[in-house]
Amino acid sequence: MTTPTIVLIGHGMVGQRFLEALAARGATGTARVVVLCEEPRPAYDRVRLTSYFSGATPAELSLTDEGFMDEHGIELHVGDPATAVDRERRTVTSRSGRTFAYDALVMATGSFPFVPPVPGKDSTGCFVYRTIEDLLAIEEYAKGAARTGVVVGGGLLGLEAAGALRGLGLATHIVEFNERLMSLQVDAGGGSALRRTLEEMKLNVHTGVAGEQIVADENGAVTAMTLSDGSQIPADMVIFSAGVRPRDQLARDSGLDVGERGGVVIDERCRTSDRQVYAIGECAKAVDGIVYGLVAPGYDMAESAAEAIAQQLAPGDGSPEAAPAGTAAEAPRTFTGADTSTKLKLLGVDVASFGDAHGTAEGALDVIYSDSRAGVYKKLVVAPDGALLGGVLVGDAEAYGTLRALTGSVPPVPPESLVLPAGAGAPSALGPAALPDDAVVCNCHHVDKGTVRAAVNQHDCTDVPSVKKCTKAGTGCGSCVKVLGQIVDAELEANGVTVDKGLCGCFAYTRAELYEIVRTLQVTTFAGLLDSHGREEARKSDGCEVCKPTVASIIASLAPSIGADGHILGGPGGEQAALQDTNDHFLANLQRNGSYSVVPRVPGGEITPEKLIVIGQVARDFGLYTKITGGQRIDMFGARVDQLPGIWARLVDAGFESGHAYGKALRTVKSCVGSTWCRYGVQDSVRMAIDLELRYRGLRSPHKLKSAVSGCARECAEAMGKDFGVIATSSGWNLYVGGNGGATPRHADLLAQDLSDAELVRLTDRFLMFYIRTADRLERTSAWIERIEGGLDHVRDVVVHDSLGLCDELEALMADHVAHYRDEWAATLADPEKLARFVSFVNAPGVPDPSVQFVSEREQIKPDLTLLSGPDIPVRTADRKLEGTASR
Amino acid sequence: MTATTVTTAPGAPAESSTAARRIEVREGQRWFAVCALDELTPGRGVAALLPDGTQAAVFLDRSGRPYVIGNRDPFTGAYVLSRGLLGSAEGGSFVASPLLKQRFDLETGRCLEDPAVGVPVFHCRTR
């Protein structure tokens, strides 16, 4: 038998899910799989499309990689859509003219945005909101002179688009033909709560009106929109997001049955009127007559179709009908309809609807809680027998996970207690513990509570990340992650497992808790903290390699305000010195052969020729290897411990100070040359980088901190890859936080925009101090933002809106740090006691360590590693005086 | 190579005739003084040379007990164990290598992460 061929038309989210489902069933190993993708890039997460505007890159939105396609031998053709299907000859032709014969054909062509027939809709400045390319075009156009934008459509996508325009700095209008926003999901009460909240955010909402005409100037560019009530709103750009329509043209052209209002007609196994042709996702009209526009039903269809095709093409069986009959062991997976529950965060507002949200069932009753002041609206739809049928939540969708899972059953508490705020006389909110095992927790991947519990009980998962990996729950839209966490915690607790969140074997507290203890009790020594707050068995001990540097860093961060010795080699009896990792201990970076490297601070990467010459001279005189770092500084390698004071005496003399390359502290603030030299620059990025570097130098933190300042949106300083990055705008600075390079790169998120110099510094002060206060040990800002509850929104609430009332204190702590900064190397050189540590051998201070030797490579030194691989090297001292000390 | 000399430590402190206590290591039948007790910070080590040229890592724990082990990190070959952090675990003391963080029991020399690997341990006392 020849290898059968499966052709997939369309590589969106559902298409990719179909490929994964095929691979999971082993079908990619027995069939040739060809994918025709219209967009210039493989499948990406369209649900999170808007996150592009808050910093997500197209790469981060991607749902697949070359590895997946290679591993499963899938032929992916991007930018080459199918243009014709010949069902007689069973072939598909692509735009580039290629023809593929198929045994099974799957249409996953998705939908296209509906653009209402408004005169002027083709003017320059009119966009749709569907693909990454659409977003790139919108961004590019908005960066021009656009000041005002109009979004046509007040549904889910429309509000996302409005959020994007607002984020780009445009005054934004929303025009919705219905009487309320999000009419599909929420009722009148929910719609008006949503409207009030959006209007408070300075969005202009026009409901019950249609766009009548788009007014363009002589160049054909949009200038205004006339509405059906006769009013006119100015508009530099218009985005249409008034719903989508199934892309079924290919099916129509090839004679497949198509619904009256569109959508390829499919049966419960996703087969079209031609048994060799399947349709899945938004282009398909399911057996219940609905064209689903959500991803979860699409995923469901992908799974059903993959199973049907895997059976159809199974060796020795050519007939799809015969397959289920022959393998009667299990009923075939079918798609007959789907739950359209959704929970979203639109413009920072929670909106959720589930089940029979509009109360269409006979005898359905409403239970409503509404607080207009707080912008909260909650409605439950209940059957006469008390069963929960559905509901709408606006402004507070905390209970969504539990409520959705309870839908269809009679809740164990009265319905009103499920919507009343905690503490309003109702029994405390119902937790996920009350859910039955068959309650679906993750809608995207159809994972029920029983499966999550099994992951904990049978697969040894002890946290949400491992449960996600094991069950796929929480890896779709992510709205169930909180409930997942509660179920995992409850299950562990029920099993008698206590999750020890302690820092190490010596402390049962987390780093953040230790920070609070040190700060409030003003504990200035490690020994004092260990003996008062360590685990019982660790008190009076030495601590360990985990807690010692961690506590040293906390004490250093807080030193000015708790009255501790700020020098890392200070403290009573030099205690701080004993706590530091070797890098901090010798104020240099340990390299593989036991030598150290030295990095003087070069603020902003700006350096005078005189200083460059000094670095060259010092490196030459001490025989050091030199290399330019990624942080715009110069690293000098190959120094022995006993050489460090001599090297630094020269550097400090020339005006250099410690670069803290050895510390969990601020490293560098990189910069581009900015508006001073660059013809594109809009702000003086070098000056700002120097200001920031000098302000935060020496700041001890849970992990290293990197920063950069770019003078324009071209972003030459790569600020988006930094813990805090600054990008100039024509009216100030945008502050991005939580970026990272390294093994898990992450683009930084926009925290605030168009800041003045003073606002930028104030927000950065708060952000850094809040991070230092709450992060775990060795947790970079990127991981911290992902971990802490509420994520970026919470961080923004705290540092921008002062939701915890902490900002004054955070700023005061930073002011203390700035006022008390002293160069560590200058202070070390001035203190003979500290200098005494810099010897290779305590009993032979003049003898260099013989294992630290170098050989030559490309005209510089490199470590002689042969010395380290052999047996011990005895040290021969010139005068053998050591022998004599034994007789003393 | 170097043009600069910096005096970094006082000369042989064991020379002092006062009652300064010192740490001694047994070499065959003899005890050999490696340094004065007050040259060590509890919880931190120093490197010392033994008469045969061996590099030793000398530590003092918080209770004032001294330990002496070989200075060579068997995982990397570098002579750096004296620069690791001392810690307590299950009643014993260990040093964590500053390079790749493996821990070595200071009494037995055994690596806590890989019991097949160890470092030499020297008898020592304070006098």
Q: What digits encode the pLDDT tens for the residues A773-795?
A: 999 988 999 989 887 877 888 89
Residues in chain A closer than 8 A to B14 (CB atoms) = 843, 885, 888
Residues in chain A closer than 8 A to B86 (CB atoms) = 542, 578
The answer as to whether A546 is a domain residue is: yes
The pLDDT, as a whole number, for residue A330 is 61
Instruction: Find the residue in A nearest to B87 (Cα).
Output: A544
A368-384 residue pLDDT tens: 888 877 788 888 888 88
What is the three-class DSSP state of B36?
strand
Q: What is the mean pLDDT of residues A707-731?
A: 94
The answer as to whether A186 is a domain residue is: yes
Residues in chain B closer than 8 A to A642 (CB atoms) = 8
> Is A835 close to B6, i.e. CB distance below 8 A?
yes
Are both A260 and A278 inside the same structural domain? yes
Q: Name the residue facing A874 among B42, B53, B63 (closest C-beta).
A: B53
What is the three-class DSSP state of A313?
coil
Complex confidence, ipTM: 0.85
Confidence class for position A318, pLDDT limits 50, 70, 90: very low
Last residue of a domain, one of A242, A267, A293: A242
CB B22 within 8 A of CB B127: yes
d(CA A825, CA A653): 11
d(CA A551, CA A502): 13
Are both A178 and A299 inside the same structural domain? no
% of chain A surpassing 90 pLDDT: 52
Residue A344 phi, psi dihedral angles, 5° rounding: -135, 160
Are both A760 and A794 inside the same structural domain? yes
The answer as to whether A234 is a domain residue is: yes
Is A830 touching B (CB cutoff 8 A)? Answer: no
Is A561 touching B (CB cutoff 8 A)? Answer: no
Q: Name the residue facing A836 among B5, B9, B103 (closest C-beta).
A: B9
Are both A40 and A84 inside the same structural domain? yes
What is the three-class DSSP state of A414?
coil
Q: Name the residue facing B53 among A573, A583, A876 (closest C-beta).
A: A876
> Which site among B1, B5, B6 would you substitute to test the A interface, given the most A Cβ atoms closer than 10 Å to its Cβ?
B6
Q: What is the dihedral of CA A246, A247, A253, A257, to 10 degrees?
A: -30
Are both A103 and A120 inside the same structural domain? no
CA distance A878 to chain B (A): 11
The answer as to whether A477 is a domain residue is: no
Confidence class for position A358, pLDDT limits 50, 70, 90: confident
What is the three-class DSSP state of A159?
helix
Residues in chain B closer than 8 A to A888 (CB atoms) = 14-15, 33
Which domain, by its residues, includes A575?
Answer: 511-580
> Is A868 close to B76, i.e. CB distance below 8 A?
yes
Are both A750 and A852 inside the same structural domain? no
The answer as to whether A165 is a domain residue is: yes
Instruction: Find the residue in B nearest to A578 (Cα).
Output: B44
Q: Which of A108, A100, A150 minimizes the C-alpha distance to A125?
A: A150
The pLDDT, as a whole number, for residue A9 is 96
Are both A71 and A15 inside the same structural domain? yes
The pLDDT, as a whole number, for residue A426 is 40
Question: Beta-strand (E) ranges in A203-301?
Answer: 204-207, 211-216, 222-227, 232-234, 237-240, 244-246, 264-265, 277-279, 284-285
Last residue of a domain, one of A207, A226, A242: A242
The answer as to whether A437 is a domain residue is: no
pTM for the model: 0.60
Residue A719 phi, psi dihedral angles, 5° rounding: -65, -25
Residues in chain A closer than 8 A to B83 (CB atoms) = 582, 585-586, 590
The pLDDT, as a whole number, for residue A484 is 82
> Is A886 close to B33, i.e. CB distance below 8 A?
yes
Q: Which of A1, A22, A15, A39 minimizes the C-alpha distance to A73?
A: A22
Q: Name the residue facing B8 among A581, A839, A865 (closest C-beta).
A: A839
Q: Please give the domain boundaries of chain B with CATH numbers for all domains.
A: 21-126 (2.102.10.10)
The pLDDT, as a whole number, for residue A464 is 77
Is A540 touching B (CB cutoff 8 A)? Answer: yes
> Is A542 close to B76, i.e. CB distance below 8 A?
no
Are both A311 and A184 inside the same structural domain? no
- pLDDT higher than threshold 90 for residue A417: no
Confidence class for position A72, pLDDT limits 50, 70, 90: very high
Confidence class for position A634, pLDDT limits 50, 70, 90: very high
CB A131 within 8 A of CB A257: no
CATH number at residue A740: 3.30.413.10
Non-local CB neighbours of A430 within 8 Å, separated by 6+ positions: A399, A402, A406, A411, A412, A413, A417, A418
Are both A139 and A28 inside the same structural domain? no
Q: Name the residue facing A843 among B49, B99, B101 (closest C-beta).
A: B49
Residues in chain A closer than 8 A to B33 (CB atoms) = 843, 885-886, 888
A276-312 residue pLDDT tens: 999 999 999 998 888 888 888 899 899 999 999 998 8
> Is B12 close to A882, i.e. CB distance below 8 A?
no
Q: Which residues of chain B have pLDDT under 50?
A: 1-18
CA distance B64 to chain A (A): 11
Q: What is the mean pLDDT of residues A569-573?
A: 82
CA distance A771 to chain B (A): 26
A460-506 residue pLDDT tens: 888 777 888 788 887 666 667 777 887 888 888 888 777 778 898 89
The answer as to whether A877 is a domain residue is: yes
CATH number at residue A166: 3.50.50.60
The pLDDT, as a whole number, for residue A479 is 65
> Is A538 close to B88, i.e. CB distance below 8 A?
yes
Q: What is the dihedral of CA A430, A431, A437, A442, to 10 degrees?
A: 110
Is A543 touching B (CB cutoff 8 A)? Answer: yes
Instruction: Find the residue in A nearest to B84 (Cα).
Output: A582
The answer as to whether A252 is a domain residue is: yes
How many domains are contained in chain A?
A: 5
Are both A687 and A789 inside the same structural domain? yes
Instruction: Find the residue in B nearest to A839 (Cα).
Output: B8
A156-175 residue pLDDT tens: 888 888 988 888 888 999 99
Tell me the CA distances in angstroms from A296 to A301, A331, A400, A549, one per residue in order: 9, 21, 17, 47
Question: In the block, which residue shows the tokens 């490197």?
Answer: B47
> Is A577 close to B39, i.e. CB distance below 8 A?
no
Cβ atoms < 10 Å from Cβ of A279: 31
Residues in chain B closer than 8 A to A643 (CB atoms) = 2
Q: How far apart are the first and last CA of chain B?
A: 39
Residues in chain B closer than 8 A to A835 (CB atoms) = 6, 8
Q: Name the residue facing B27 among A505, A583, A886 (closest C-beta).
A: A886
Q: Which of A654, A588, A585, A589 minimizes the C-alpha distance to A618?
A: A654
Residues in chain B closer than 8 A to A548 (CB atoms) = 43, 85, 87
Q: Name the residue facing A843 among B31, B34, B42 (closest C-beta).
A: B34
Last residue of a domain, one of A822, A854, A877: A822
Lowest-confidence pick of A439-443, A590-594, A626-630, B86-90: A439-443
The pLDDT mean for chain A works out to 87
> Which site among A530, A537, A545 would you substitute to test the B interface, given the most B Cβ atoms closer than 10 Å to its Cβ?
A545
Are both A767 and A795 inside the same structural domain? yes
What is the three-class DSSP state of B121?
strand
d(CA A431, CA A259): 43
The pLDDT, as a whole number, for residue A359 is 80
The pLDDT mean for chain B works out to 83
CA distance B90 to chain A (A): 9
A212-255 residue pLDDT tens: 999 999 989 999 999 999 999 999 999 999 888 999 999 999 99
Is A506 touching B (CB cutoff 8 A)? Answer: yes
> Is B54 close to A872, i.e. CB distance below 8 A?
yes
CA distance B15 to chain A (A): 8
CA distance B88 to chain A (A): 5
Chain-centroid distance, C-alpha A442: 20
CA distance B85 to chain A (A): 6
CATH number at residue A589: 3.90.480
> Is B87 close to A888, i.e. CB distance below 8 A?
no
d(CA A677, CA A680): 9
From chain A residues 425-454, the ones with a CB under 8 A of any chain B CB are none
> Is A594 close to B80, i.e. CB distance below 8 A?
yes
Are both A653 and A672 inside the same structural domain? no
Residues in chain A closer than 8 A to B123 (CB atoms) = none
